[in-house]
Amino acid sequence: MTAWMPGRGLASVADDLVELLDHLGLDRVPVTGQSGGGAHVLALGARHPERISAATVIAGAAPLTEADIPLLIGYNAEAHRRFDDGGREALYQLLRDYREKALADPLADIRTSMHDAPPEDQAVLSDPTFQQILRQDRTEALRPGAEGWCDECLAASDWDIAPEEVTVHVVWYHSRHDANEPLQAVQRLADRLPSVELRLWEGGHLEAFHRQEELIRDLLTRAGFRPSS
89-125: pLDDT as tens digits: 999 999 999 999 989 998 888 888 888 889 999 999 9
Give the pLDDT confidence score for residue 229 in this predicted structure: 59
Cα–Cα distance measured from residue 183 to residue 22, given in angstroms and rounded to the nearest whole number: 36
Three-state DSSP class for residue 172:
strand
Q: Is the pLDDT of residue 156 over 90?
A: no
Q: 68: which DSSP letter? A: T
Q: Are the beta carbons of 74 and 81 closer than 8 angstroms?
A: no
List, for residues 162-171, the tens digit of each pLDDT value: 999 999 999 9
Q: What is the mean pLDDT of residues 74-85?
A: 89
Residue closest to 83 by CA, chosen among 178, 23, 149: 149
Residue closest to 102 by CA, chosen among 51, 62, 143: 143
Q: Are the beta carbons of 17 and 132 closer than 8 angstroms?
A: no
> Model confidence at 3, in pLDDT bands (50, 70, 90)?
very low
Q: 179: which DSSP letter? A: S
How many percent of the chain have pLDDT more than 90? Answer: 76
Three-state DSSP class for residue 132:
helix
How many percent of the chain have pLDDT more than 70? Answer: 96
> Model confidence at 227, in pLDDT bands (50, 70, 90)?
low
